[in-house]
């Protein structure tokens, strides 16, 4: 009988230890983001504003070289914005659109940089001649994600269409 109690006590202690470890694990790292919806809204609006500012600077360029330099700067700013937003994280209910937004911001940065790089290749100097503006699928995707976030309570405007 005594041997049975020993195993019962050892088993109970083991179960209690597993539960305690699980609780501590959840408390320390179970939810990757402790960002509130309000904090997330501020971060998304700030990110959107940074991207729009960077894109808006493109239309103010006076020469092709200045335009390409501003494209380089915009790509870097947008990539940094994606990284900052990714580092912040999102409330768990917004995790899916958050991840897609971060990915599409990274894609927009790559699209802009790739276009600038291609314009520097001999034979592509006139790539922007008669262009009314730049249009990237990633820009459209970002606006679709921002619309999804608005439906989920995040008050953020869409990115405005930029003219070159």
pLDDT in tens, 19-38: 334 444 444 444 455 889 99
Residue 135, pLDDT score: 75
- pLDDT confidence tier of residue 162, bands split at 50, 70 and 90: low
**Widest distance between CA atoms in the chain:** 93
Residue 34, pLDDT score: 84
Kindly give, in sequence order, each residue whose CB lies less than 8 Å from that of residue 131, ignoring residues fewer than 6 positions away. 164
Residue boundaries of the structural domains of the chain:
1-30, 36-151
The SS3 call for residue 161 is coil
Residues for the chain: how many in total? 164
Residue 134, pLDDT score: 73
- Residue 60: half-sphere exposure toward Cβ, Cα within 13 Å: 7
pLDDT digits (tens, 9 = 90+) for 57-112: 998 999 989 999 999 999 999 999 999 999 999 999 999 999 999 999 999 999 99
Q: How far is Cα 115 from Cα 120, in angstroms, rounded to an integer? A: 9
pTM of the entire structure? 0.76
Residue 132 has pLDDT above 70, yes or no: no
Cα of 72 vs its chain's centroid, Å? 19
Share of the chain above pLDDT 70, in %: 73
């Amino acid at each position: 009988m005594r041997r049975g109690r020993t195993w019962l006590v050892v088993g109970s202690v083991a179960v209690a230890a597993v539960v305690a470890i699980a609780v501590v694990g959840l408390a320390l790292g179970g939810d990757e983001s402790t960002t509130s919806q309000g904090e997330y809204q501020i971060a998304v609006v700030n990110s959107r504003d940074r991207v729009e500012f960077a894109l808006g600077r493109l239309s103010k360029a006076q020469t092709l070289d200045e335009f390409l330099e501003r494209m380089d700067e915009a790509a870097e700013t947008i990539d940094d914005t994606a990284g900052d937003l990714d580092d912040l994280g999102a409330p768990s209910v917004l995790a899916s659109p958050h991840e897609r937004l971060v990915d599409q911001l990274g894609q927009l940065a790559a699209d802009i940089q790739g276009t600038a790089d291609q314009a520097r290749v001999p034979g592509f100097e006139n790539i922007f001649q008669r262009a009314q503006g730049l249009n990237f699928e990633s820009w459209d995707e970002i606006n679709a994600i921002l619309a999804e976030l608005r439906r989920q309570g995040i008050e953020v405007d869409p990115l405005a269409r930029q003219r070159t």
